[in-house]
Amino acid sequence: MKKQNNKDSSVKIFFRLLSYSYTYKALFFAAVIFSLISVFFAILGPLIVSDAVKLMKTDGFSMDEIIKTVGKLLAVYVPAAGFNYAYALSTNVLTQKTIRNIRNGLFVKLSKMPIKFLDETKSGILISNIINDVEAVGEGLISNITLFVMGAATIGVTLVSMLALNALIACFVVVLTPLALFGAYTLAKKGKKYFSQNQKNLGLLNAAANEMITYQKTVKAYGYEREAERIFGEKNDGLCKTSVSSQFLSSMVNPMIRYISIFTYIIVGFACVESGVPIEVTTAFLMYSNQYARPFMDVTSVITQLQSAIAAAERIFSVMDKPGETEDKKDAAVLTEFGGEVVFDNVSFSYSKDRPLIRNFSLRVKSGQKVAIVGPTGSGKTTLVNLLMRFYDVDGGAIYLDGHDIRDITRDSLRRAFGMVLQDAYLYTGTVRENIAYGKTGATEEEIVVAAKRANCYDFIMNLRDGFDTVISDGLTNISKGQKQLIFIARIMLNIPPLLILDEATSSIDTYIERRIKTVFDGMTKGRTSFVVAHRLSTILNADLILVMRDGNVVEKGTHGELMEMKGFYCELYNSQYNNV
C-alpha cells in the first residue's frame, strides 16, 4: 500500500506541476506540434537511405543520383532540425514562465504564512525552497514534459514503420523494450529516497551557510570558527553522501539502457540477415530500431533531473499545503478611524501548550495613554505586542480595540492602525529615500525630508556620499546600526498612525542619540495610544502607565513614581540600571 501511495503521490505531483503551465498551453501545444513535425521528417530519412542502398545494389550511383539523394536528405533533415529548434525554444520559454509561476506562488504563500511558521522554520531552508527547489523542478521536470511527447510520437511512428517492414523482427524489439524499462524503473525507485534526502540536506546546508555568514561577527567574537567549520563540514558531508548515492544509482540507468539497445541492435541485424531480408530493408530497419531506442535513452539520461525534480516538488508543495494565516471573517470590519482605546480581557496565551506564558491577563488602556511594558527577558513583553498585532491569536479571552474584538477587524486595517518601530531595524536594498518612503506609497520629497528631520537623521543623511540617493542595505555596513534605526524611525514619522508600538526601539542607539530622539518620541506619542516595550527604563519615566511583567503576568503597574514608592520588583530593576552608574 505504501508503494502505491508513493506512486500516486508522484503522479499527483506531476499533474499539479502541469497546472502551473496551463496558462501557457499555447506554448505547450506549439512545442508538441513542432516535435511531431520534427519526428515526421526524421522518419522519412531511413526510407531515403533505403532507396539509396537499393540503388547501389542494382545500378550503382551516378553523380546525378548522388545529388538527388543528398538533396532529398537535406530536404528532410534541415526542416527537421528547424522544427526541432522551434520545439526547444518553445519548451525553454514554457519552462521559464512556469518556473516564474511556481516561484511567485511559493513566495505569495510564504507571505501569507502565520508568524509561528516563520519563527519555527530556518530561513535558509525557505530560501532553498524558493531558489534551489524551484530551479530543480524547472530543469528536471517542466523542461522535459514535451520530451515525453516527442518520445512517445517517435516510438509510435517507428514501431509502425518496423511492423510494416517486418512484423516478426519488430516483435523482437518490442519484447526487449520492457526489460530495459523494468531495469530503469527499479533503479529509479531505489534512488528516489536518496534524492529526497539530498534535497533536504541541500536545504540544511544552505541554512547553515546563511547563519554562519550572516552572523560572522558573532562567530569570530567568540572564537567559534572551528566549531562553525565542523558543523558546516558535517552538513556538507551529509550532502556529499546522499549525492553520491543518488547519482550512482541514476548514472547506472542510462548505460544499462544503452547496452540493452546495442544488444537489440545486434539481434535485429542478425535476424534480418538470417531471414534473408534485403539489405535496403535491413538498413532502414536498423535505423528505425535506433530511432525507436533513442527516446528511452533520452528519458533515462535525464532520470537524475527527474528524480531531483520530484523530490524538490514534494518539498515545495509541503510548504504550499501548510495552512496559512486564518482568513479574516466574512463580516470583518474595515476600520478607518480609531479612538485608541485598547482592552485586554482575561487574555491567555502560550507558544507551546505545555509551557503557558500569559494567563488571565486583563488591562484597560485609555485613548491617548502611553503604556510602557518592562520586565526581564522572556517575561512576555513582546508577546503582548504580537497578540495586539495579531501576529499570534489569543488562546483564551479577547483583545478589544475601540470596542471591537480585534478578531472581528480585518488584519490589514488593524495593522495599518499601528506604527511599529522594532528592535531590529529592517532596511531593504535601495536608496535612503526609498527606505523612508517604504511606509507611504507616493510620498513627496518634501514629506521625506520632513520625516528625516523629525527623526533627527537629516544631518547624517546629507553627510552621506549621495545624500538621500545613497544605496543602503540591511546586510551592508555602510551606515551604523544606530543610523539604520533612525532611518527606520523616519519611516514611521512619514505617516504617523493613530496608535504606536515601540519595541525596544532605542536599544541599538547610543545614549547620546537616544537623548536626542527622546523628545521626538514624546512628540510622536503625545495624544496617541502607544505601547513602549523598553529595556532602558530612562525612556519610559514619563509613561502614563508602566506594566511590570514577570513570567507572563503583570506583577506591578503604575507610574514611575508610584512604582518606586512600592519598592518592589520595578524599583529593583531601576536601581540595578542606575544606582551603580
CATH code, domain with 85:
1.20.1560.10
Confidence of residue 2 (pLDDT cuts 50, 70, 90): very low
Residue 340 lies in a domain: no
CATH of the domain at 479: 3.40.50.300
Same domain, 134 and 266: yes
Max Cα distance, the chain (Å): 121
| Residue 199 scores a pLDDT above 70 | no
Q: Is 334 exposed, middle or buried (0-12, 13-18, 19+ CB in 10 A)?
A: exposed
The predicted pLDDT at position 540 comes to 82
Average pLDDT over residues 511-526: 70
Residue 441 lies in a domain: yes
Residue 6 lies in a domain: no
Same domain, 310 and 436: no
Quote the CA–CA distance of 86 and 68 in Å, as a whole number.
Answer: 27
Reported as a single tens digit per residue, the pLDDT across 455-482 is 878 888 998 888 999 888 655 556 777 7
Q: What percent of the chain has pLDDT over 70?
A: 78
Residue 308 lies in a domain: yes
Same domain, 280 and 140: yes
Residue 380 lies in a domain: no
| Residue 3 scores a pLDDT above 50 | no
Phi-psi region for residue 393, left (φ > 0), alpha (ψ -120 to 50) or beta?
beta
Long-range (24+ apart) CB contacts under 8 A made by 557-566 are none
Residue 531 lies in a domain: no
Residue 37 lies in a domain: yes
| Residue 338 scores a pLDDT above 90 | no
**What is the spatial order of strands in the sheet that 396-401 belongs to?**
358-365, 342-349, 396-401, 404-405
**Position 45, amino acid:** G
Confidence of residue 1 (pLDDT cuts 50, 70, 90): very low
Tell which wins on pLDDT, 25 or 560. Answer: 560
| Residue 296 scores a pLDDT above 50 | yes
Reported as a single tens digit per residue, the pLDDT across 8-48 is 467 788 788 878 877 888 888 888 888 888 888 877 777 77
Residue 427 lies in a domain: yes
Which domain, by its residues, includes 455?
Answer: 422-496
Among 432, 462, 496, residue at a domain's last position? 496
The predicted pLDDT at position 507 comes to 62
The C-alpha cell at 536 is: 532602558
Confidence of residue 217 (pLDDT cuts 50, 70, 90): low
Among 320, 343, 372, residue at a domain's last position? 320
Residue 377 contacts residue 549 (beta carbons within 8 Å): no
The C-alpha cell at 554 is: 503583570
Whole-number mean pLDDT of the chain? 78
Tell which wins on pLDDT, 187 or 444. Answer: 444
β-pair type (342-349, 396-401):
antiparallel
Quote the CA–CA distance of 539 and 532 in Å, as a whole number.
Answer: 9
pTM over the 0.85 mark = no
The predicted pLDDT at position 131 comes to 84
Same domain, 88 and 221: yes
Same domain, 434 and 296: no
Q: Which one, of 311, 393, 300, 398, lies nearest residue 350 by Cα?
A: 393
Among 496, 511, 536, residue at a domain's last position? 496
With b for 16 or more beta-carbon neighbours within 10 A and e for fewer, the 504-540 pattern comes to bbbbbbeeebbeebeebbeebbeebbbbbbbbebebb
Same domain, 316 and 426: no
Tell which wins on pLDDT, 109 or 473. Answer: 109
Reported as a single tens digit per residue, the pLDDT across 344-396 is 999 999 887 777 788 888 889 998 899 989 888 777 788 888 899 898 899 99
| Residue 314 scores a pLDDT above 70 | yes
Q: What is the number of domains present in the chain?
A: 2
Quote the CA–CA distance of 525 and 516 in Å, as a whole number.
Answer: 15
Distances (CA, A) of 369 to 67, 138, 365, 558: 96, 55, 7, 12
What does the chain come to in residues? 581
Among 70-79, 162-171, 366-375, 449-458, the range scoring the smallest mean pLDDT is 162-171
